[in-house]
Copies of this chain bind each other. A is one copy, B any other.
Amino acid sequence: MNRFVLDKESILQAAENAIRRYGPCKTNLTDIAKALSVSHAAIYRYYADKADLLEAVTERWLARTFRSLDPIMRENARPEEKLRHYLQELCRTKRACAATDPEMFENYAVLSEGSSRALKEHLHHILNQMESIIQQGIHSKAFIDQDPRQLAISVFIATSRFHHPAFASEWQNPDIENRLDAVLNLILSGMEIRN
């Protein structure tokens, strides 16, 4: 008796396994259907095409991978330390993925070149979290009183070298954390109200 139930979760897990095995470009719906012992048609009832499925896989992977940022939001630290910690963790997580989960990272990097809904939502979520920390800093008079969303965008752009997949080849440089800290010192010092 087959107790297996085909649902989005089982398809997404099979797709992630296939990506890890064949890489994002060579992964196809046939392999995924075969691994689940179902027909192509069964998968199409859930996802319109390969692009749609890879998008959903990435969305699930991003939510799981960047979960480590959430506890930072609840830290009882000064906003300037919290923002530093948040960016260090964001960049550390990206480096760890590129090194230890290369196929899923490649899948994410390929999507980042196009206009992916999952990546837009991920970026939106990251910017929301940064904006919230900056807002706290403005409130506590630690940060200059400027539009917190615009500041979050500038901070995100200025740290691109440490989190954008186009620079993944540089992340094995043993000096990378010092470089990030130097850039963070500059940016945070630019935002802080100094007495």
Contact = CB atoms under 8 A, between A and B. Distances in A.
22 contacts: A151-B186, A153-B182, A154-B179, A154-B186, A157-B179, A157-B183, A158-B158, A158-B159, A158-B161, A160-B160, A160-B167, A161-B164, A166-B166, A166-B167, A185-B190, A186-B187, A186-B191, A187-B190, A189-B189, A189-B190, A190-B190, A190-B191
Interface string A177-195: 0010011011111110010
A76 to B, nearest CB: 26
Contacts of A151: 186
Contacts of A160: 160-161, 167
A186 B164 CA distance: 20
Interface residues of A, number: 25
A51 to B, nearest CB: 19
A59 to B, nearest CB: 23
A158, A189, A191: most-surrounded residue (chain B CB, <10 A): A158
A155 B77 CA distance: 27
Contact of A154 (B167, B182, B191, B194): B182
Contacts of A144: 189
A189 B191 CA distance: 8
Interface in A138-154: 144, 150-151, 153-154
A160 B159 CA distance: 9
A8 to B, nearest CB: 32
A151 B185 CA distance: 10
Contacts of A186: 151, 154-155, 158, 187, 190-191
B166 A183 contact: no
A166 B161 CA distance: 11
Contacts of A155: 186
A129 B115 CA distance: 37
